[in-house]
Each structure stands twice: as structure tokens, then as C-alpha cells.
């Protein structure tokens, strides 16, 4: 049977599926470190296996917990993280550990979502990234906070396309 040729618009397919795990320390390490403060050092990344493609990567959890800075009562939220990878991808177990590190932080929801956006942009330098926090109702009012980043050169291209 003759081999199929790749079309000129598609990148060549790799002959085997492999993942570059160099530098990852949390995955398969057994017990997790005890963390009590969010830090970019908790976020491990690996090379994007397909940087020539526009990979949109989405993470979500409905088990996020932090504390109200005034009452120290727990705040519960569903967190969604969506990004278009450039050179790096975040490893999911390290992201879980990072999210868990907010548990005992007395911070308003707006500060949490802004911090997550800043930290993830710092370690990933993605094409774009959005973090959404949907915080459970307190006193009958729910709160949704969304923060986004768009790469400057990417944003200029989008802006010029919109003006046409």
C-alpha cells in the first residue's frame, strides 16, 4: 500500500508520539510538597509539542478554594484557564498544586484572578490567555471575574483586521 503524502498546508506528522518530560519534577514524584503561598516556581512547563499549530488548551476545576480577606471564611469557585500555547505548555499536576496554594490566602476574587493571569503569562508567554473565576454566592450575590492577555504582536494583527 503506498504511503500517504502530507498536503502542502499540513505540517508533517511525527513518526512516533513522544513527550519531552525534561525538567518535570512533580509528575510521578509521589508525595506533593506542602505549599502555602502561590508562586510561579510551582508551575512546571514543557515544550509545546506542536508550536506550528494554534493549540488551545483549557483547564477547569470547580474545587477551587480561597479565603475572604475580611472574615477568613472560605470562598469557593470554579476556575477556567484557556490559552493558546506558544513555546511552552503548563503541566497539569503542577497547575493543581499551584491552584491549591491559594487555599489559605485571604485575597479578594479580583486579586486572585489577576495574580493567576500574571503568573501563567510569565511562565508560558502564550499567544493569548484567559482566566475566569466564578465564585459561589455569598449573601445572595455571585461573582464572576475574567482577566485576559493577548500577545502584543498578535493583538496588532487582530486590531488591523477589525479596522478593514
The Cβ-side half-sphere exposure at 124, using a 13 Å CA radius, reads 28
For residue 82, what are the contacts with CB-CB under 8 A and spacing of at least 6?
A: 56, 57, 58, 59, 129, 130, 132
Does the annotation count 58 as an active-site position? no
Q: In the structure grid, which three cell numbers stand for residue 31, read together? A: 508525595
Choosing from 36, 58, 62, 75, the catalytic residue is: 75
Is the Cβ–Cβ distance between 119 and 81 less than 8 Å? no
Choosing from 36, 58, 62, 68, the catalytic residue is: 68
Catalytic sites, residue numbers: 68, 75
Amino acid at each position: 500500500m503506498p504511503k500517504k503524502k502530507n498536503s502542502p498546508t499540513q505540517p508533517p506528522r511525527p513518526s512516533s508520539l513522544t513527550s519531552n518530560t525534561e525538567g518535570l519534577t512533580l509528575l510521578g514524584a509521589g508525595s506533593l510538597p506542602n505549599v502555602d503561598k502561590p508562586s510561579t516556581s510551582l508551575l512546571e512547563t514543557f515544550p509545546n509539542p506542536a508550536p506550528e499549530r494554534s493549540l488551545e488548551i483549557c483547564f477547569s476545576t470547580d474545587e477551587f478554594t480561597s479565603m475572604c480577606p475580611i472574615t477568613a471564611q472560605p470562598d469557593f469557585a470554579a476556575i477556567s484557564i484557556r490559552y493558546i500555547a506558544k513555546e511552552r505548555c503548563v503541566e497539569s499536576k503542577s497547575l493543581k498544586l499551584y491552584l491549591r496554594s491559594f487555599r489559605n490566602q485571604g485575597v479578594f476574587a479580583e486579586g486572585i484572578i489577576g495574580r493567576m493571569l500574571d503568573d501563567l503569562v510569565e511562565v508560558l508567554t502564550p499567544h493569548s490567555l484567559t482566566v475566569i473565576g466564578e465564585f459561589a454566592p455569598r449573601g445572595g450575590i455571585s461573582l464572576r471575574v475574567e482577566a485576559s492577555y493577548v500577545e502584543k504582536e498578535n493583538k496588532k494583527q487582530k486590531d488591523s483586521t477589525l479596522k478593514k
